[in-house]
Structure 1
Amino acid sequence: MAHVPSGRVHNLINIAAYSVLAAVTLVASRQGALTVTPAQALNFTLAFAAGTFLLSPDLDLAEGRVDSKRHWGVLGVLWVPYGMLFSHRGLSHTWVVGPLTRLLYVAVMVALVVGLLRFVAPSVTLPAIPQPVSLKVLAPLLIGYYLSQWLHLVADGVRPDHGLRRGARKLRRR
């Protein structure tokens, strides 16, 4: 297997790519070629940072020392089951489903906490997600998150058809 970058190198790659993208976006918007609102820029940035530092594809190694797990602090232990569910460089390292597994995992964890809070302290008012969530809000979040994930996969040498090739081989063997 080819050598893959460390978590620190992955972070530096993403920071460099973000810096270039931000500069290009700033120049393009100043020339009128692109319109990006401050809210869209913030949503993209937050999602990109979360994808880089908190939701790395390497969380499938969460039972070990992983930068993303450490960035969660004491909550890093919550990623151990994820690491047990997904084999390293398996489904969690696919281009579309892999990032989605981490989002769904976070959603399940949040749902469990909210359910527990509602049971233990039903009078506590929890923040609500504004409805409906517009595409202008959702698109920068998804683009920022997925781009951060794809940069990690590119650095690891994972091709976009990674999961598809493995699935096709399994089907041919049957």
Structure 2
Amino acid sequence: MNASHSGTMAPVPSGRVHNLINIGAYSVLAAAALYAARQELVVITPAQALNFTLAYAAGTFLLSPDLDLAEGRVDSKRHWGVLGALWVPYGMLFSHRGWSHSWVIGPLTRLLYVALILALIFGLLRFVAPDLQVPTIPQPISVKVVAPLLLGYYLSQWLHLIADGVRPDHGLRKGYRRVRGR
């Protein structure tokens, strides 16, 4: 919740409103990028546009900062279907609007959590079926591939935080107060 100028707490947007904000922002951004590309102000490959779009959609619909409420009803958890139960431990690890709602570390925690889940799944698959071929990440990973993915993902997260009224130094201020208070 945000403190308004009157001292009362203002409500934060619902999951549906967060999704609509992100969809609207994406529409404006896509139109601007298309215009800039047509004017030859920027060069955006179809693969870069696709990577940005997929990461932005994943950040908006599947990896919302509100997964720290995964014990309850959260849009992002519901979008995972039956796999939404995998986010309950994440919700137990992070208090709502704590580190999971910080600008850099919060989105990173969700990416690391997904990586942990995938590592456990692939580890189990290798144990159960050692001859099974599992997909690998091609090496080396190009910045032209990673940059649009990270930009799309982080931008979707930051729009959520802006709508919640979370400042960029949110997690840092809490940690600084704890350290300074000791």
TM > 0.5 fold call: yes
Q: Deviations over 1:35-77 (max 9, x none)?
A: 0000000000000000000000000000000000000000000
The residue number in structure 2 matching 1:66 is 74
The residue number in structure 2 matching 1:135 is 143
TM value normalised by structure 1: 0.99
**Residue 99 of structure 2 corresponds to residue 99 of structure 1:** no
Where in structure 2 are there 5+ consecutive unaligned residues? 1-8
Distance 1:167 1:78 in 2: 28
1:119 to 111, 127, 136: 127
Q: Cα RMSD (Å) of the superposition?
A: 0.5
- Bigger drift between 124-133 and 69-78 goes to 124-133
Distance 1:120 1:5 in 2: 44
**Aligned-partner residue type, residue 72 of structure 2:** G
**Aligned-partner residue type, residue 153 of structure 2:** Y
The residue number in structure 1 matching 2:94 is 86
Cα deviation for residue 145 of structure 1 reads 0.1
The residue number in structure 2 matching 1:57 is 65
1:25 to 33, 43, 47: 33
Cα deviation for residue 2 of structure 1 reads 2.3
The residue number in structure 1 matching 2:83 is 75
The residue number in structure 1 matching 2:177 is 169
The residue number in structure 2 matching 1:151 is 159
TM value normalised by structure 2: 0.95
Distance 2:64 2:48 in 1: 22
Where in structure 1 are there 5+ consecutive unaligned residues? none
Q: Deviations over 1:117-162 (max 9, x none)?
A: 0000111111111111100000000000000000000000000010
